[in-house]
């Protein structure tokens, strides 16, 4: 079972040539063709996919599932790797600031209580709505790779 407390701090997070490695999910309800998004903790009114730092004691898939639990209270099965995407390329260093690694998760259940429930709202959107509302390019790319895009 997942912890009721979110992991905090970056001391155990992984980096690649200075780029923070971030793992996340496109949590889907495949029957309803919906995507679960969470309110951004940094930008009010912005909706994002659940994601966060990949830590040194877990696999990419475990990090993505943990972040989806912590931020959205969703538990499910990872069914596909959706790709790796560089975010905020820094011309001075010649490297990205972050590398996002996304997976598709078929949501099996949504819990009433989850670690970041007081920090974040969660909401189901149709696939088409999610593509419109998500502002970050790396997240739109991940959405375009999920199984809902091919139906």
The partner residues of 39 in beta bridges, in order of sequence, read 47
* Residue 150 confidence (pLDDT): 80
DSSP strand pairing (95-110 vs 74-90)? antiparallel
State the pTM of this model: 0.87
* Residue 3 confidence (pLDDT): 60
HEC string for the chain = CCCCCCCCCCCCECEECCEEEEEEEEEEECCCCEEEEEECCCCCCCEECCEEECECCCCHHHHHHHHHHHHHCEEEEEEEEEEEEEEEEECCCCEEEEEEEEEEEEEEEECCCCCCCCCCCEEEEEHHHHHHHCCCHHHHHHHHHCHHHHC
* Residue 105 confidence (pLDDT): 98
- Taking only the tens of pLDDT, the chain with its 151 residues reads 566 655 555 667 777 777 888 999 999 998 889 999 999 988 888 999 999 999 889 999 999 999 999 999 999 999 999 999 987 766 666 677 888 999 999 999 999 999 999 999 999 999 999 999 998 999 999 999 999 998 6
* Residue 4 confidence (pLDDT): 62
* Residue 98 confidence (pLDDT): 86
Homologous superfamily, domain 15-150: Nucleoside Triphosphate Pyrophosphohydrolase (3.90.79.10)
* Residue 91 confidence (pLDDT): 65
Contact yes or no for 55/15 (Cβ under 8 A): no
* Residue 39 confidence (pLDDT): 95
* Residue 122 confidence (pLDDT): 97
* Residue 63 confidence (pLDDT): 96
* Residue 16 confidence (pLDDT): 78
**Max Cα–Cα distance, the chain, nearest Å:** 46
């Amino acid at each position: 079972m997942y912890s009721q407390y979110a992991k905090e701090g970056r001391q155990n997070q992984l980096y690649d040539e200075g780029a923070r490695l971030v793992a996340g999910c496109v949590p889907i309800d495949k029957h309803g063709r919906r995507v679960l998004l969470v309110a951004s903790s940094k930008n009010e009114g912005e909706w994002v996919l659940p994601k966060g730092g990949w830590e040194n004691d877990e696999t990419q898939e475990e990090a993505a599932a943990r972040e989806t639990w912590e931020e959205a209270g969703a538990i499910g099965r990872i069914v596909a790797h959706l790709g790796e995407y560089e975010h905020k390329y820094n011309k001075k260093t010649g490297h990205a600031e972050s590398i996002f690694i996304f997976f598709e998760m078929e949501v099996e259940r949504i819990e009433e209580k989850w670690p970041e429930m007081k920090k974040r709202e969660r909401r189901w959107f149709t696939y088409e709505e999610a593509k419109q509302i998500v502002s970050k390019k790396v997240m739109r790319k991940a959405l375009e790779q999920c199984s809902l895009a091919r139906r």
